Chain A
Amino acid sequence: MVGVTDFPFLSILTLFPLVGAAVVAFIPKTRAQLAKTIALGWSLAVLALSVVMWIVFEAGGDRFQFRESYQWIPTWDARFTFAADGIALVMLLLIAILVPAVILASWNDVDETQRSVPTYFALLLALECTMIGVFAAADVFLFYVFFEVMLVPMYFIIGSYGGARRQYAAVKFFLYSLVGGLFMLAAVIGLWVVGGHTFDWQKLSDVSAAFDTNTARWLFLGFFIAFAVKAPFFPFHTWLPDAGVAAPAPAAALLVGVLDKVGTFGILRYCLPLFPEASRWFAPAALILGVIGIIYAALLAVGQNDLKRLVSYTSIAHFGFIGIGIFAFTTQAGTGSVLYMVNHGLATGLLFLVVGMFVARRGSALVSDFGGAGKLVPVLAGVLFFAGLASLALPGTAPFVSEFLVLIGTFTVHKVYAVIATVGIILAAAYVLWMFQRTTQGTLNPALTEVPAMHKDISLREKIVVAPLVLLLLILGFYPKPVTDVINPAVEATMQDVGTTDPAPTAVANGKVAP
């Protein structure tokens, strides 16, 4: 067993897609088909490796497994340290599942006459490398490097391969994230100075209790702003709808499915354990932002006429749930949040992919350009319906479990917030069902029949794209235990880092967390 866990899983998992990106990038433009095939094969190999890791990972074992550490910059004690806890592991698996789906879904999305096809797929693989790195890093410096570099491939994906307002959206995306990132840079340097000139997560978390209260609060804020922009939480969210609309739909699925989770993951991994006192101090504000986000984004989603923008807003609402789950500081809510991160990645990822299939057929993302589409493409409409139901957290689909856990876990300590958040569920039903009704039900829009592509129902390729996601959403809806078993110990450890204990089942908590 020792031999298996000593295998450098995480560094290989991180670097492997980068090698793939280099290989694909050097394929000439004229061999587009070859580039696509290699990219798909490469991402499937990554998936295989991460499945192996899933099997090797011991759910009841150490908090951090697969630990590797190599010297990098001794002057600053920055090292290539990789390690994964349960939270990181499930996110790595989510990435590994989504990327092949996204590659397959983008098969014909790039206009070969305008843009280079191999470059697009190389960028996707490069993005996968940085996404894996950001979740696998156990060194604050290394984390920051991946966090920032992640912007570059996404920037070019949106900017070069996106829709009408792609330049504006790409720059907005980049600048928002960079501004957040620079706040974090200041905090990272500050953390390095107060933490005794080291970047090692473990060492920093060991000395975190000794940080000066005020300093820790400022440092928390630096990290939190970066993560809140990334997630995005209200009021830092305005870049996401623009980016979501402008990005190619499959890339948008990655954007909201994985990239944004970096924000919530960062809060769990860095804000809470490294600045426990500050986390408790800021928790009320974070909870309020979360609740506002749930209601506000849901209301905006109801009013959208653009499918991609609508899905982006639903995503912001869901991040509100994840946020309150994290800052409720109960194991139940925390586990719910992490599970939500996975399920949201699957559900919203699926929704974006299916919306992308509709948009690719119609050539427009406007709800008003559809109408009765279910008569033309019944199966595809069915998948859209399922994705919508999953994303509104219908019982039987995976998001229900996580949303329920978040609400219960929050209710035990913060009744008011939990009750208000519940309104978000009703609004979710409204925006999903209304969107579904306006696009696929009712009388057939005559303009729709004139579009030849709208007469083609879901193709085999598209079935292969959606099938695994649909299956996973169903399985995890009925039997989430394999995932919760992995998440739970990591969440419990995080809650211990914060210094909170779960309220006794019968006790009435007054909304304050224990000191």
Chain B
Amino acid sequence: MGDLKLPEINYGALSPMLILFGAACLGVLLEAVLPRGRRHGVQLTLALASLVAALAAVILTRNTRVVTIGGAVAIDGPTVFLWGSILLLGVVSMLLIGERAVEAGGAFVSQAAITVGSDKDLKQAGGQPGATEVYPLTIFSIGGMLLFVAANDLLTMFVALEVLSLPLYLLCALARRRRLLSQEAALKYFLLGSYASAFFLFGVALIYGFAGAVDLASIHAAVADPQRNEVLLFGGLALVAIGLLFKGAAAPFHVWTPDVYQGAPTPITALMAACTKVAAFGALLRILYVAFDGVRWDFQPVLGVIAILTMLIGAVLAVTQTDMKRLLAYSSIANAGYLLVGVLALNKEGLSSTMFYLVAYGFSVLAAFGIVSLVRDAEGEATHLSRWAGLGRKSPLYAGVFSFIMLAFAGIPLTSGFTSKFAVFGAAIDGGQTWLVIVGVITSMVLAFPYLRVIVMMWLSEPGESTPTVSIPGFLTSAALVIGVIVTLALGVIPAPLLDLTNDAAQFVR
């Protein structure tokens, strides 16, 4: 028997993840010992502090380029950049999650599984303080996302996928209002997500069969010099891609998105639209660019068709939506398509522009859902589009912010929506994917219509009897909105610093 050799672990490089997982475990512990009344403040502070500390750790170790824990985790330019992005977006999401001034008891209830309509359910929906478990759960999920984008072998990636997904399934079921929709969303997300995970795992098995290993470098080597049947390779790649595209909400694996986005508590929807998207596309980028770049000519057309399908379905179905959260869900699907266009450029610009897009879109979508959580009436959030008519007269400030975000989504210059679209389209044309860009431009035209309709609703329609009021947000939501809007504007007017950052970061290690 040889000596058991422990793999070398670079704790410094891993510190952001360690901080988050440590804080999440501590959060669970606090749940057990703290009196109920004090949990919210302590948990929220702990969650925010751990995110900020992790961010600080990322910044401190930003020049680290290392593959560690026996090749399971790769810390390289994209990892560091995506970690920073996820953590920043996570902080803003956490601000939305922690808001309790808008609704009595916050946006979450404490027990997800109570039968809807029962006395107990009505009681907990009627203003009982919500669960504080949401904070450790969110931190677990964000920690999983960090691992997901850094995973250097497929098994680690699978574990990370589960770590990031399981808390999200539960969080989706905790909405204070419309309990039934929320439970349905959680169940749907859980079932379909489990299928996607199974696909992913099966794909990993096939790729192991092909390459004899699960780490990305060995797969890369095996792809370059195939020793076994390539059916295993392509079958495995397809199944792994399905798992990732499901999380990124690309068609035809998108059907969960509108229902889950609608049913989940709005802060969680924001978290999924911003952070999960970064994680999913970060992992997709790593797998495609690091492990499978040898068969790029084989997967490019297939993923190209998926990108086109995603853009078309997202844009066309967004036009027909009458619910604000569903509209944003379809817009998020279309944006997954634009992200795929950037991914498929398969060059350095493709990598950097996709990362730029993820950050730009993340902040805009957080601000958008932040506003959605404020437009409410006695029944809770008023998400039906017709209810937003005349909002511009009642609350010009919030309607103005939302219009600005809509213009950003429509890709009007001087917003981050324009610069980010420009970046991915430019990279794609550079990478010879002109056909994707043409579809991208056409779907942008289609997609402009629903955004514009919202603006028309808010400003040009007369306020009706049923126009809801906008709640005065507490400090947390205000901060989230301010950050979202400033970043959207700043990345539109002076994108150069972030573009440079993504350019410098766009180098994977293998």
A binds B: yes
> How far apart are A248's CB and chain B's nearest CB, in angstroms?
14
Q: In the complex, are the beta carbons of B499 and A73 less than 8 A apart?
A: yes
* Interface assignment of B429: CB less than 8 Å from any CB of chain A: yes
Chain A: which residue is nearest B495 at the CB level?
A73
* Interface assignment of B445: CB less than 8 Å from any CB of chain A: yes
> How far apart are B484's CB and chain A's nearest CB, in angstroms?
19
Which A residues lie within 8 Å of B442 (CB)? 182
Which B residues lie within 8 Å of A174 (CB)? 448, 452
Which A residues lie within 8 Å of B449 (CB)? 175
> How far apart are A503's CB and chain B's nearest CB, in angstroms?
39
> How far apart are A223's CB and chain B's nearest CB, in angstroms?
14
* Interface assignment of B189: CB less than 8 Å from any CB of chain A: no
Q: Using a CB-CB cutoff of 8 Å, which residues 132-185 of chain A contact chain B?
A: 144-146, 148-149, 151-152, 156, 159-160, 166-167, 170-171, 174-175, 178-179, 182-183, 185
Which of B410, B412, B426, B460 sits near A149, CB closer than 8 Å? Answer: B412
* Interface assignment of A370: CB less than 8 Å from any CB of chain B: no
Q: In the complex, are the beta carbons of A159 and B459 less than 8 A apart?
A: yes
> How far apart are A379's CB and chain B's nearest CB, in angstroms?
37
Which B residues lie within 8 Å of A144 (CB)? 413
Q: In the complex, are the beta carbons of A193 and B444 less than 8 A apart?
A: no
Chain B: which residue is nearest A116 at the CB level?
B396
Which B residues lie within 8 Å of A166 (CB)? 460
* Interface assignment of A186: CB less than 8 Å from any CB of chain B: yes
> How far apart are B499's CB and chain A's nearest CB, in angstroms?
4
Q: In the complex, are the beta carbons of A75 and B503 less than 8 A apart?
A: yes
Q: Using a CB-CB cutoff of 8 Å, which residues 104-153 of chain A contact chain B?
A: 144-146, 148-149, 151-152
Which of B445, B453, B459, B494 sits near A182, CB closer than 8 Å? Answer: B445
Which B residues lie within 8 Å of A170 (CB)? 456, 460
Chain A: which residue is nearest B429 at the CB level?
A193
Q: In the complex, are the beta carbons of A190 and B429 less than 8 A apart?
A: yes
Q: Using a CB-CB cutoff of 8 Å, which residues 31-88 of chain A contact chain B?
A: 71-76
Which B residues lie within 8 Å of A146 (CB)? 413
Which B residues lie within 8 Å of A367 (CB)? none
Q: In the complex, are the beta carbons of A149 and B413 less than 8 A apart?
A: yes
Bound state CA distance, A179 and B442, in angstroms?
8
Which of A167, A171, A178 sits near B410, CB closer than 8 Å? Answer: A178
Which A residues lie within 8 Å of B412 (CB)? 148-149, 151-152
Which of A152, A175, A182 sits near B407, CB closer than 8 Å? Answer: A152
Q: In the complex, are the beta carbons of B413 and A193 less than 8 A apart?
A: no
* Interface assignment of B414: CB less than 8 Å from any CB of chain A: yes
Quick one: given A183-B441, A193-B426, are A175 and B448 in contact (CB under 8 Å)? Answer: yes
> How far apart are B81's CB and chain A's nearest CB, in angstroms?
15
Bound state CA distance, A175 and B450, in angstroms?
11
Interface residues of B: mostly helix, strand, loop or mixed? helix
Bound state CA distance, A166 and B462, in angstroms?
13
* Interface assignment of B42: CB less than 8 Å from any CB of chain A: no
Which of A75, A149, A189 sits near B500, CB closer than 8 Å? Answer: A75
Which A residues lie within 8 Å of B444 (CB)? 182
Which B residues lie within 8 Å of A182 (CB)? 411, 441-442, 444-445
* Interface assignment of A192: CB less than 8 Å from any CB of chain B: yes
Which B residues lie within 8 Å of A193 (CB)? 426, 429-430
* Interface assignment of B425: CB less than 8 Å from any CB of chain A: yes
Q: In the complex, are the beta carbons of B426 and A192 less than 8 A apart?
A: yes
Q: In the complex, are the beta carbons of A178 and B445 less than 8 A apart?
A: yes
> How far apart are B88's CB and chain A's nearest CB, in angstroms?
21
Chain A: which residue is nearest B428 at the CB level?
A189
In which size bucket is the chain A interface?
20 to 34
Q: In the complex, are the beta carbons of A186 and B460 less than 8 A apart?
A: no
Quick one: given A145-B414, A190-B429, are A75 and B452 in contact (CB under 8 Å)? Answer: no
Which of A72, A75, A167 counts the most chain B CB atoms within 10 A?
A: A75
Which A residues lie within 8 Å of B407 (CB)? 152
Chain A: which residue is nearest B443 at the CB level?
A182
Chain B: which residue is nearest A148 at the CB level?
B413
Quick one: given A73-B496, A145-B413, A183-B441, are A160 and B426 in contact (CB under 8 Å)? Answer: no
Q: In the complex, are the beta carbons of B422 and A186 less than 8 A apart?
A: no
Q: In the complex, are the beta carbons of A185 and B452 less than 8 A apart?
A: no
> How far apart are B329's CB and chain A's nearest CB, in angstroms?
23
Q: In the complex, are the beta carbons of A167 and B413 less than 8 A apart?
A: no
Q: Using a CB-CB cutoff of 8 Å, which residues 128-147 of chain B contact chain A?
A: none
Q: In the complex, are the beta carbons of A160 and B459 less than 8 A apart?
A: yes
Bound state CA distance, A190 and B461, in angstroms?
39
Bound state CA distance, A149 and B412, in angstroms?
7
Q: In the complex, are the beta carbons of B452 and A186 less than 8 A apart?
A: no
* Interface assignment of B437: CB less than 8 Å from any CB of chain A: yes
Quick one: given A75-B496, A145-B413, A149-B414, are A189 and B459 in contact (CB under 8 Å)? Answer: no
B405-439 toward A: CB 8 Å interface, digit per residue (1/0)? 00100111110001100100110011000100110
Bound state CA distance, A162 and B408, in angstroms?
25
Q: Using a CB-CB cutoff of 8 Å, which residues 74-110 of chain B contact chain A?
A: none
Which of B413, B414, B422 counts the most chain A CB atoms within 10 A?
A: B413
Chain A: which residue is nearest B414 at the CB level?
A149
Q: In the complex, are the beta carbons of B425 and A186 less than 8 A apart?
A: yes
Bound state CA distance, A189 and B440, in angstroms?
12
B379-422 toward A: CB 8 Å interface, digit per residue (1/0)? 00000000000000000000000000001001111100011001
Q: In the complex, are the beta carbons of A186 and B437 less than 8 A apart?
A: yes
Bound state CA distance, A424 and B456, in angstroms?
38
Bound state CA distance, A167 and B458, in angstroms?
12
Which A residues lie within 8 Å of B500 (CB)? 74-75
Bound state CA distance, A160 and B393, in angstroms?
11
Which of A76, A156, A179 sits near B426, CB closer than 8 Å? Answer: A76
Which B residues lie within 8 Å of A73 (CB)? 419, 495-496, 499
Which of A171, A183, A190 sits near B456, CB closer than 8 Å? Answer: A171
Q: Using a CB-CB cutoff of 8 Å, which residues 167-219 of chain A contact chain B?
A: 167, 170-171, 174-175, 178-179, 182-183, 185-186, 189-190, 192-193
Which B residues lie within 8 Å of A179 (CB)? 445, 448
Which of B422, B425, B430, B460 sits near A167, CB closer than 8 Å? Answer: B460
Which of A159, A171, A178, A185 sits near B422, CB closer than 8 Å? Answer: A185
> How far apart are B459's CB and chain A's nearest CB, in angstroms?
6
> How far apart are A111's CB and chain B's nearest CB, in angstroms?
14
Chain B: which residue is nearest A156 at the CB level?
B459
Q: In the complex, are the beta carbons of A178 and B448 less than 8 A apart?
A: yes
Which A residues lie within 8 Å of B459 (CB)? 156, 159-160
> How far apart are A226's CB and chain B's nearest CB, in angstroms?
12
Q: In the complex, are the beta carbons of A186 and B441 less than 8 A apart?
A: yes
Chain A: which residue is nearest B502 at the CB level?
A75
Q: In the complex, are the beta carbons of A186 and B426 less than 8 A apart?
A: no
Q: In the complex, are the beta carbons of A171 and B452 less than 8 A apart?
A: yes
Bound state CA distance, A146 and B453, in angstroms?
23
> How far apart are B413's CB and chain A's nearest CB, in angstroms?
4
Q: In the complex, are the beta carbons of B499 and A189 less than 8 A apart?
A: no
Bound state CA distance, A73 and B413, in angstroms?
14
Bound state CA distance, A178 and B459, in angstroms?
19
Bound state CA distance, A178 and B495, in angstroms?
22
Q: In the complex, are the beta carbons of A160 and B437 less than 8 A apart?
A: no
Quick one: given A171-B456, A175-B449, are A185 and B441 in contact (CB under 8 Å)? Answer: yes
Which B residues lie within 8 Å of A159 (CB)? 456, 459-460
Chain A residues with a Cβ under 8 A of chain B: 71-76, 144-146, 148-149, 151-152, 156, 159-160, 166-167, 170-171, 174-175, 178-179, 182-183, 185-186, 189-190, 192-193
Q: Give me 19 other A-B pairs in contact (C-beta within 8 A), A152-B407, A167-B460 excluded.
A: A74-B500, A145-B414, A148-B418, A149-B414, A152-B412, A159-B459, A159-B460, A160-B460, A167-B461, A170-B460, A171-B452, A175-B449, A178-B410, A179-B445, A182-B411, A186-B437, A186-B438, A189-B437, A190-B434
| Pairs across A and B, CB under 8 Å, 16 listed | A73-B496, A74-B496, A75-B499, A75-B500, A144-B413, A145-B414, A148-B413, A149-B413, A170-B460, A175-B452, A179-B448, A182-B411, A182-B444, A189-B422, A193-B426, A193-B430
Chain B residues with a Cβ under 8 A of chain A: 407, 410-414, 418-419, 422, 425-426, 429-430, 434, 437-438, 441-442, 444-445, 448-449, 452-453, 456, 459-461, 494-496, 499-500, 503
5 tightest A-B CB contacts, nearest first: A145-B413, A75-B499, A186-B441, A167-B460, A159-B460
